[in-house]
């Protein structure tokens, strides 16, 4: 069976309820591939500098890659937009059934670009390579109930997205999977878009190649932890290496990480997600509201981060976040900030660490925006601190809360968080997995390791490949791209560097620079995170990247990466550094 990569884009205007199909410029496919890269190229093209993330002028893209549904592991899609939480470029990912069905529904299209805003709640139906907009009457329902109301595979928002909470998610597969960080769900809510419903058969083909890579996954040592433990083992790993943030970053480590980790979940699991037998996924656990799939971030952010050591209570909190459509990392940080602020008399609120009922009550308040405190927290921790005080209580970068991997136990994570293109994010680069086992991590090495991993993941997320099977793609997917007829214009590592540079150019255009690539205030000067060492790492990082001292890509770099196809480069000419 001959398989070819999709080469068109389906555009939906919610204001006029019209749809059009257009061919993706061929140079863009060679230079940016799909997923993150192609989504970033469209976002740069479509948006004017200063576009309001919650205005109708912002675009939201559901982007696939040329390999979606074909490669081993979970199929994934990228939600690409301008973040209402950070004001930066945003790409957020979700796996499961929906991306594969969407790929079949889109047919020859590699993505769905949504623009404008509806005057009433609507859904988008995608089937047989076409899209249509229809009114919907389920505004106000949670993500689980919303999915039940449609015939098809569904990506939708819950009450958090409807109320434009800045860290609202897009949920798929009845709330089991989420495009979680950065607030793509709030963009959907602002557009009055409740759901995207896809109907179609997932792509098929390249079975021999797939089987060969599945065998690699089954035997590769780098993927063994995910085969056996899913992501829930991450809390025990972080605790063991001294990099688990506890009780709102007051402590490092918890008394019993195992009570929230792999053994606890194995005792209670009813099943495992199984996109295929070679990549079994995370564990299913029964909760009061039905089955839930808690991941490592649940235990870290809502368990250790809030001082809650009762497994069932943590799982229930995670399930409620998923139903509401709420990013659990920023949600956990919002609760932790409130506890600190209460202890210091900054806010009048009775809540403490180890209080799951108080945490749940506050999360509901945030989603409904029904009090001044809830309303402020709905816009993020930084917004609450601006209104009430307490900007030193929990760490953020570019207004995004840090995950629980504590840079005080792995200083390289400070650089990874600071330079992430979407705000504090451990998925852009996770050098902690190597740093804790080595003794020679100089500032130069940290800078190089972080940059190389950022570029590598930029390629994989443009394909789009499940990051948990990614270690077996040692050629960054070149063999697969050849199989579907995609010929990048240069080696894939350079493609990754180009994509990372493009998202940096987007952020520079929005006013971001070195003053935003910061060591979070609550961590500065603490043991393990020396400010001078951090600045040295940042200097080496900029030098390695070919950026100027203020963190802006130089014209020489833009020229080397052959990015003359960016029509708006002239808008950057006054702000780009000219030093080499």
b/e for 200-223, b at 16 or more Cβ within 10 A? bebbeebeebbeebbebbeeeeeb
Residue 320 included in any domain? yes
Is residue 373 located within the same domain as residue 430? no
Is residue 374 located within the same domain as residue 422? no
Q: What's the CA gap between 235 and 268, in Å, rounded?
A: 17
Q: What is the pLDDT of residue 466?
A: 83
pLDDT digits (tens, 9 = 90+) for 110-151: 999 999 999 999 999 999 999 999 999 999 999 999 999 999
Is residue 383 located within the same domain as residue 457? no
Query: What does the mean pLDDT of the chain come to?
Result: 92
Is residue 562 located within the same domain as residue 420? yes
Please give the residue that has the higher pLDDT: either 387 or 235: 387
pLDDT digits (tens, 9 = 90+) for 452-503: 999 999 999 999 988 888 888 989 999 999 999 999 989 999 999 999 999 9
Range of the domain at 512: 412-572
Is residue 187 located within the same domain as residue 327? no
Is residue 175 located within the same domain as residue 234? no
In this prediction, residue 578 has a pLDDT band, given cuts at 50, 70 and 90, of: very low
Last residue of a domain, one of 368, 394, 420: 394
Alpha helices of 431-491 — where are they, by DSSP H? Answer: 432-435, 443-463, 478-483
Residue 204 included in any domain? no
Q: Which of 453, 460, 552, 457 is nearest to 506 (CA)?
A: 552
Is residue 169 located within the same domain as residue 28? yes
CATH classification of the domain holding 568: 1.10.599.10
Task: State pTM to two decimals.
Answer: 0.95
203, 466, 470 from 477: Cα distances, Å: 18, 12, 9
- Is 90 exceeded by the pLDDT of residue 218? no
Residues whose CB falls within 8 Å of the CB of residue 280, separated by 6 or more in sequence, listed in order: 227, 230, 272, 273, 274
Is residue 121 located within the same domain as residue 229? no
CATH classification of the domain holding 79: 3.60.9.10
Please give the residue that has the higher pLDDT: either 222 or 208: 208
Residues whose CB falls within 8 Å of the CB of residue 178, separated by 6 or more in sequence, listed in order: 94, 169, 170, 171, 172, 322, 325, 327
CATH classification of the domain holding 264: 1.10.569.10
- Is 60 exceeded by the pLDDT of residue 312? yes
In this prediction, residue 573 has a pLDDT band, given cuts at 50, 70 and 90, of: very low
Last residue of a domain, one of 339, 362, 394: 394
Is residue 369 located within the same domain as residue 447? no
Residue 3 included in any domain? no
Residue 165 included in any domain? yes
Is residue 262 located within the same domain as residue 153? no
Residue 211 included in any domain? no
Is residue 425 located within the same domain as residue 377? no
Angle 492-509/35-46 helices, nearest 10 degrees? 30
pLDDT digits (tens, 9 = 90+) for 165-180: 999 999 999 999 999 9
Last residue of a domain, one of 137, 165, 199: 199
Is residue 33 located within the same domain as residue 168? yes
Highest mean pLDDT among 192-206, 292-306, 462-476: 192-206
Q: What is the pLDDT of residue 526?
A: 67
Residues whose CB falls within 8 Å of the CB of residue 48, separated by 6 or more in sequence, listed in order: 57
Residue 302 included in any domain? yes
Alpha helices of 60-183 — where are they, by DSSP H? Answer: 97-106, 143-148, 159-162
- Is 60 exceeded by the pLDDT of residue 395? yes
End-to-end CA distance of the chain: 49
Beta carbons of 155 and 175 less than 8 angstroms apart: no
Beta bridge partners of 92: 79
Tokens, residue 354: 């180890």
Residue 208 included in any domain? no
Residue 62 included in any domain? yes
Share of the chain above pLDDT 90, in %: 73
The lowest-confidence range among 288-292, 322-326, 416-420, 519-523 is: 288-292
Q: What's the CA gap between 545 and 234, in Å, rounded?
A: 30
Q: How many domains does the chain have?
A: 3
- Is 70 exceeded by the pLDDT of residue 568? no
């Amino acid at each position: 069976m001959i398989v070819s990569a999709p080469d068109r884009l389906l555009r939906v205007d919610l204001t006029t309820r019209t749809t059009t199909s257009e061919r993706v410029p061929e140079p863009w496919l060679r230079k940016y591939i799909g997923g993150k890269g192609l989504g970033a190229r469209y976002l740069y093209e479509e948006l004017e500098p200063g576009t309001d993330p919650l205005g109708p002028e912002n675009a939201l893209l559901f982007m696939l890659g040329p390999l979606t549904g074909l490669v081993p592991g979970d199929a994934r899609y990228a939600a690409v937009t301008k973040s209402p939480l950070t004001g930066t470029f945003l790409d957020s990912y979700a796996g499961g059934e929906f991306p594969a069905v969407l790929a079949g529904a889109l047919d020859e299209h590699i993505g769905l670009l949504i623009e404008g805003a509806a005057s009433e709640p609507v859904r988008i139906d995608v089937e047989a390579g076409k899209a249509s907009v229809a009114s919907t009457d389920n505004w106000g329902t949670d993500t689980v109930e919303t999915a039940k109301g449609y015939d098809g595979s569904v990506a939708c928002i819950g009450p958090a997205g409807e109320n434009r909470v800045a860290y609202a998610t897009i949920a798929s597969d009845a709330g089991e999977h989420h495009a979680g960080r950065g607030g793509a769900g709030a963009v959907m809510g602002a557009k009055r878009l409740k759901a995207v419903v896809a109907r179609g058969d997932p792509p098929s083909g390249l079975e021999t190649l797939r089987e060969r890579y599945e065998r690699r996954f089954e035997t590769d040592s780098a993927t063994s932890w995910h085969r056996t433990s899913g992501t829930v083992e991450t809390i025990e790993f972080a605790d063991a290496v001294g990099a688990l943030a506890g009780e709102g970053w007051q402590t490092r480590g918890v008394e019993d990480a195992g009570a929230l980790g792999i053994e606890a979940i194995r005792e209670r699991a009813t099943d495992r997600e199984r996109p295929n037998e070679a990549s079994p996924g995370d564990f299913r656990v029964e909760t009061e509201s039905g089955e839930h799939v808690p991941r490592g971030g649940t235990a870290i952010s809502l368990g250790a981060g809030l001082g809650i050591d009762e497994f069932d209570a943590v799982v229930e909190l995670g399930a409620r976040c998923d139903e509401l459509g709420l990013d659990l990392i920023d949600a956990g940080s919002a609760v932790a900030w409130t506890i600190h602020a209460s202890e210091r008399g900054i806010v009048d609120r009775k809540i403490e660490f180890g209080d799951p009922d108080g945490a749940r009550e506050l999360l509901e308040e945030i989603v409904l925006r029904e009090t001044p405190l809830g309303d402020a927290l709905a816009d993020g921790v930084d917004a609450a601190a601006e209104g009430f005080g307490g900007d030193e209580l929990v760490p953020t970068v570019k207004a995004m809360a840090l995950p629980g991997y504590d840079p005080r136990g792995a200083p390289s994570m400070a650089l990874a968080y600071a330079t992430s293109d979407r705000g504090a994010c451990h998925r852009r680069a996770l050098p902690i997995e190597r740093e804790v086992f080595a003794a020679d991590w100089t500032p130069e090495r940290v800078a190089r390791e972080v940059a190389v991993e950022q570029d590598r993941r930029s390629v994989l997320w443009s394909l789009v490949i499940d990051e948990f099977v990614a270690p077996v793609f040692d050629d960054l997917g070149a063999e697969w791209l050849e199989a579907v007829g995609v010929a990048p214009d240069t080696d894939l590592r350079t493609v990754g560097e180009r994509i990372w540079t493009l998202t940096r150019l987007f952020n520079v255009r929005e006013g971001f620079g070195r003053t935003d690539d910061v060591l979070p205030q609550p961590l500065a000067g603490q043991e393990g995170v020396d400010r001078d060492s951090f600045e040295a790492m940042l200097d080496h990082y900029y030098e390695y990247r070919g950026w100027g001292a203020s963190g802006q890509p130089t014209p020489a770099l833009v020229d080397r990466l052959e990015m003359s196809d960016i029509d708006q480069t002239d808008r950057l000419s006054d702000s780009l550094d000219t030093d080499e």
